[in-house]
Protein backbone atom coordinates (compact mmCIF):
# COMPACT_ATOMS: atom_id res chain seq x y z
CA UNK A 1 0.00 0.00 0.00
CA UNK A 2 1.27 3.47 -0.90
CA UNK A 3 2.02 5.69 2.12
CA UNK A 4 2.02 9.45 2.67
CA UNK A 5 5.79 9.33 2.21
CA UNK A 6 5.35 7.63 -1.18
CA UNK A 7 2.79 10.19 -2.34
CA UNK A 8 5.08 13.08 -1.37
CA UNK A 9 8.03 11.47 -3.09
CA UNK A 10 5.98 10.89 -6.26
CA UNK A 11 4.88 14.52 -6.33
CA UNK A 12 8.46 15.77 -6.00
CA UNK A 13 9.62 13.40 -8.72
CA UNK A 14 6.88 14.67 -11.03
CA UNK A 15 7.93 18.29 -10.38
CA UNK A 16 11.57 17.42 -11.12
CA UNK A 17 10.60 15.63 -14.33
CA UNK A 18 8.55 18.65 -15.44
CA UNK A 19 11.40 21.06 -14.63
CA UNK A 20 8.96 22.94 -12.40
CA UNK A 21 10.47 25.82 -10.40
CA UNK A 22 8.75 24.41 -7.29
CA UNK A 23 11.05 21.39 -7.50
CA UNK A 24 13.05 22.42 -4.45
CA UNK A 25 13.13 21.04 -0.91
CA UNK A 26 10.16 22.14 1.20
CA UNK A 27 10.34 23.67 4.66
CA UNK A 28 8.36 20.96 6.45
CA UNK A 29 7.37 23.11 9.43
CA UNK A 30 6.01 25.84 7.15
CA UNK A 31 4.15 23.37 4.96
CA UNK A 32 2.56 21.64 7.95
CA UNK A 33 1.47 24.93 9.47
CA UNK A 34 -0.10 26.42 6.35
CA UNK A 35 -3.69 26.56 5.17
CA UNK A 36 -3.20 23.56 2.88
CA UNK A 37 -0.92 20.99 4.52
CA UNK A 38 -1.04 18.59 1.55
CA UNK A 39 -1.95 19.49 -2.06
CA UNK A 40 -5.65 18.78 -2.60
CA UNK A 41 -5.18 16.22 -5.37
CA UNK A 42 -2.74 14.16 -3.34
CA UNK A 43 -4.86 14.44 -0.20
CA UNK A 44 -7.91 13.12 -2.05
CA UNK A 45 -5.83 10.35 -3.67
CA UNK A 46 -4.51 9.27 -0.28
CA UNK A 47 -7.99 9.16 1.24
CA UNK A 48 -9.23 7.18 -1.77
CA UNK A 49 -6.31 4.77 -1.25
CA UNK A 50 -7.47 4.13 2.31
CA UNK A 51 -5.19 6.46 4.26
CA UNK A 52 -7.34 7.94 7.01
CA UNK A 53 -6.22 11.39 8.15
CA UNK A 54 -3.01 11.62 6.05
CA UNK A 55 0.05 12.86 7.96
CA UNK A 56 1.42 16.01 6.27
CA UNK A 57 4.83 15.67 7.96
CA UNK A 58 5.35 12.21 6.43
CA UNK A 59 4.17 13.56 3.05
CA UNK A 60 6.73 16.38 3.03
CA UNK A 61 9.48 14.09 4.33
CA UNK A 62 8.82 11.93 1.27
CA UNK A 63 8.79 15.02 -0.92
CA UNK A 64 12.18 16.15 0.40
CA UNK A 65 13.70 12.68 0.03
CA UNK A 66 14.02 13.26 -3.73
CA UNK A 67 16.45 16.11 -3.09
CA UNK A 68 18.62 14.13 -0.67
CA UNK A 69 19.86 11.68 -3.32
What pLDDT does residue 20 have? 95
| Helix, strand, coil in percent for the chain, rounding step 5 | 60, 0, 40
What pLDDT does residue 25 have? 97
What pLDDT does residue 5 have? 98
What pLDDT does residue 69 have? 73
Q: Which residue has the higher pLDDT, 19 or 69?
A: 19
pLDDT tens for residues 17-60? 999 998 999 999 999 987 779 999 999 999 999 999 999 999 99
- The answer to whether the Cα torsion of 31, 35, 39, 42 is positive or negative is positive
Instruction: Report how far apart, in Å, the C-alpha atoms of 24 and of each of 14, 21, 35, 66 are.
Output: 12, 7, 20, 9
What pLDDT does residue 36 have? 77
- Rg of the chain over Cα atoms, rounded to whole angstroms, equals 11
Amino acid sequence: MKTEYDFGRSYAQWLVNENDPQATPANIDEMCGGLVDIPDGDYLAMVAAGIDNPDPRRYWEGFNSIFEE
